[in-house]
Structures are given as C-alpha cells and as structure tokens.
C-alpha cells in the first residue's frame, strides 16, 4: 500500500535573523557602504570632469542599486550576488552597449546610412 506525503505550499518558514538586525551589524553595514560610496563619488566626479559621462551614469546607477540592496531587508538574498552583478554591468554590459552606441554615432556623423556598418 502506497502512502502519500503531504506537501505544504511555501515550504518551511525561515528562522528569525537576529544577527542582521543588531546595532553592530547595522553600523558595520553603514561603514562599508560609506566607504564604497566615497570611492564611487570620487570616481563619478572624475569621470564627469574628464568627459566620460556615460560610464559616470552607469557607475552612479550601480552605486544606488548596491545601496538599496544592502539597506533594505527585503533584498537580503541579493546581497550575495550584488557584487557579481555590479561587475557584470560595469565590465561586460557597459562596454558592449557603449561600443554599439559609439559606432552608430560615428557612422551617423560620417553620413553613412544603415547599410554601411562594415
């Protein structure tokens, strides 16, 4: 005779996280974000000053996203993947989009039509 197992929807609730809500962990999190933000503000300022405003905008968006992920408790699962996502955006996605954008802009400025992408 076969027995059937009861499966509850949603699984087992997670235990309450007492460590992430302590004052010391909150202060360490803020100190780490302050260091990251200080470095980002310095880099963003220099990028805008040197005329690389596209990368400055991308770095600004990535910095705001990292701050949102680390300051909001509902984004806790993203904390472990956010450094990888930030590097993916800055090192892989930005150069691809920037290359396509610049190449298209150069062709339009040179008066070439759509068929002359070679």
Residue 110 belongs to some domain of the structure: no
Let me know if residue 32 belongs to a domain.
yes
Rounded Cα distance, 114 and 107, in Å: 8
Q: Are 38 and 65 in contact (CB under 8 A)?
A: no
Report yes or no on 12 lying in a domain.
Answer: no
Compute the average pLDDT of residues 18-47: 88
Task: Let me know if residue 73 belongs to a domain.
Answer: yes
Q: Which of 10-24, 75-89, 98-112 has the lowest mean pLDDT?
A: 10-24
Give the C-alpha separation, 38 to 45, whole Å.
11
* pLDDT of 110 over the 90 cut: no
Residue 40 domain flag: yes
Q: What is the mean pLDDT of residues 96-117?
A: 73
For residue 17, is it within any domain?
no
Domains contained in the chain, number: 1
Report the C-alpha gap between 87 and 59 in whole angstroms: 10
The parent domain of residue 77 ranges over 23-86
- Confirm whether 116 is domain-assigned: no
């Amino acid at each position: 005779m076969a027995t059937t197992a009861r499966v509850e929807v949603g699984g087992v609730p997670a235990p309450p996280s007492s460590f992430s809500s302590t004052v010391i962990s909150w202060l360490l999190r803020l100190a780490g974000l302050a260091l990251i933000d200080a470095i980002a503000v310095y880099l963003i300022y220099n990028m805008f000053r040197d005329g690389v405003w596209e990368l400055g905008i991308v770095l600004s968006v990535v910095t705001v996203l990292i701050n949102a992920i680390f300051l909001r408790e509902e984004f806790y699962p993203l904390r472990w993947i956010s450094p990888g996502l930030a590097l993916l955006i800055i090192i892989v996605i930005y150069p691809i989009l920037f290359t396509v954008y610049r190449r298209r802009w150069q062709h339009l400025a040179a008066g070439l039509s759509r068929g002359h992408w070679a």
